[in-house]
Amino acid sequence: MAAIDPRLEKLAQLALEEVEGNILPFWKKHAIDEKYGGFIGASADDGSPVEGAPKCLILNARLVWSYASAYRVLGKPEYLELAKRAYDYFIGHFLDPEYGGAYYMVDHTGKPQQDHKMVYGNAFAIYGLAEYYRATGDEGALRRAIEIFELLEKHAFDPINLGYYEMFTRDWQRVERQSPHRRIDMTKTMNTHLHMIEAYTCLLRVWRNERIENKVREHLNVMLNKVTNEEIGHFTMFFDAQWNGTSSDVSYGHDIEGTWLMMETCEVLGWHEAEKEAAPVCLKMARACLDESIDADGAMLYEYKPDTNEMLRQRSWWVQSEAVTGFLNAWQMGGGEEFMQAALRSFAYIREHIVDHANGEWFAMLDEHNAPMSSSDTKIGGWKAPYHNSRMCFELIERARKAKGE
């Protein structure tokens, strides 16, 4: 057994205690929908269900991923049981039997409510299905993941400028993405492309062939050369069809998440030229996040708007999760001791402020004084799942195992 830095070993132990002692038990206790199947659509901070809440593709695909990953990493039968519950509900209610792909929303009884095809959400469908196959060997999950991959390549891929469009009708006719908050061109977005690279990388792990390898390489190059603004060490968030940036806003959580996801892609590809190209970019981004976004108490702040010099100082649960993984990854890449210290501080901040020690799980958002903020996604919601925080824990556990040669 190889020697391991005791700080990494401690982080892994704390992560194991958190995911098995808090995160996963909360979801098992509060999220199961005994009446209509699967999992409830939303809850209050104390875990009580929001009656009649619809069920979102994002939440349900992430539940498939989270429990499948829990079973793969921790090996306990209860996680396999919950992974199967999430998987069975997902394929039974979210997958479109006529046009393929996944609906965005079903109602609380499981009937389609919003049947459009969101590329971001379908990327998570691939991510969850591929991980389910990785954990269980279920051939049906792999087949369904490949079917959605082929649909995205057929309908969403831009063969001229590369990258992927955002939104489609049920029968895969492209529509412009509308945002009530931003009056800018959002034909292509960083967020969709970031989560497509994690989905395609996971699919590559279990479906190794020249076609998917070439698509993952192509997508990594898009992330490095179009989505990333290497000059300033940040992602650009929004683009027109030709990859002209339409916003200067900086999202620190996405930046730090992207640093380790792109390096994971390089590792899975086994493509050393890409690693040499990606590593300097990812370390520069991690450095920019460390220098610009960490508050005095160790929290990573939310966003920065250069046009108005406005820093959004709220503290999101998922941003803190990605800070731990991203800074640890930068340290493992040889970025320097300061990155390990940042990972330790981020985890300490989570344990002190983000974890809800009274009701369980994590608060969705805190203000700059570390007071919980009201949110439509409190503990369980369309975009609030045991995905970012459980994945942080699984990453720490697996990285420690790898460091020990297990």
| Arithmetic mean of pLDDT over the chain | 96
Q: pLDDT confidence of 96, banded at 50, 70, 90? A: very high
**pLDDT of residue 282 exceeding 90:** yes
Q: pLDDT confidence of 31, banded at 50, 70, 90? A: very high
Q: pLDDT confidence of 119, banded at 50, 70, 90? A: very high
| Confidence (pLDDT) at 377 | 64
What the chain holds in terms of domains, given with CATH numbers, is 6-403 (1.50.10.10)
High-pLDDT (> 90) share of the chain, %: 93
Give the tens place of pLDDT for each residue, 216-225. Answer: 999 999 999 9
Q: pLDDT confidence of 181, banded at 50, 70, 90? A: low
**pLDDT of residue 47 exceeding 70:** yes
Q: pLDDT confidence of 180, banded at 50, 70, 90? A: low
Q: Cα–Cα distance between 265 and 268 in angstroms, integer?
A: 5
Give the tens place of pLDDT for each residue, 358-405. Answer: 999 999 999 999 999 986 668 999 999 999 999 999 999 999 999 999
Judge if pTM exceeds 0.95. yes
| Confidence (pLDDT) at 192 | 98
